[in-house]
Amino acid sequence: MDERREARTAGDLRASDSDRQAVTDRLTKALDEGRLNLHEWDERVASAYRSTTYSELALVCADLPDDGRSMPPQPVSAPVKRPVAEESSGVISDLPLWVKILWTVWFTAVLINLVVWALVTMHSGHKVFWPMWVAGPPGAALFGLSAGVTMIKRTRRNAAAQRRLDAARRKRSR
């Protein structure tokens, strides 16, 4: 019997309910910090409650920093500039592709009309700025459409994030 006790490591010892709860608290903190998404959190919490030994519990949170502390910043050799196509913030990036295409068509039509107006004005002396009728009303309508689409998209994104947060809080309180 003593030989078996000596051969066991700390990882082979059975975990208690309070040990499992400590690991799930750590996982919840990682979820709140953004280190885990909701799906990963759910899987790991289930795995923590199924664990029977310390080594199994250690595997559940092996890739997380100790005590939820942030890792120290790594030295960066040179700042990396992302191409414009990969930018993820800003007004234009929130627009769907079809709205971006509409803006491109509108901008092209306005440019063509401005060039035609400039050529006609230089040759005839006619000074009425008629491209404003091509640019103004359609541009205002397109701006309203873009603002509406952006607001709807952001509202849906915020509502989905709130639902995920509420679901995580409900699971935590159980």
Percent of the chain whose predicted confidence (pLDDT) is above 90:
15
7 pLDDT above the threshold of 70: no
pLDDT at 37: 87
pLDDT at 69: 53
- Residue-wise pLDDT for 109-124, tens only, equals 999 999 998 988 888 8
pTM of the model: 0.43
45 vs 67: CA distance, rounded Å: 17
What is the distance, to the nearest Å, from the Cα of residue 34 to the centroid of all Cα atoms in its chain? 10
- Residue-wise pLDDT for 89-105, tens only, equals 566 777 888 888 999 99
120: number of Cβ within 10 Å: 13
30: number of Cβ within 10 Å: 19
pLDDT at 109: 93
Q: What is the pLDDT confidence band of residue 83, given thresholds at 50, 70 and 90?
A: low
- Pick the range with the lowest mean pLDDT from 40-54, 60-74, 102-116, 133-147: 60-74
167 vs 165: CA distance, rounded Å: 5
Largest CA distance in the chain: 109
pLDDT at 105: 93
Phi, psi of 53 (to 5 degrees): -120, 165
57 vs 20: CA distance, rounded Å: 7
Which of helix, strand or coil describes residue 10? helix
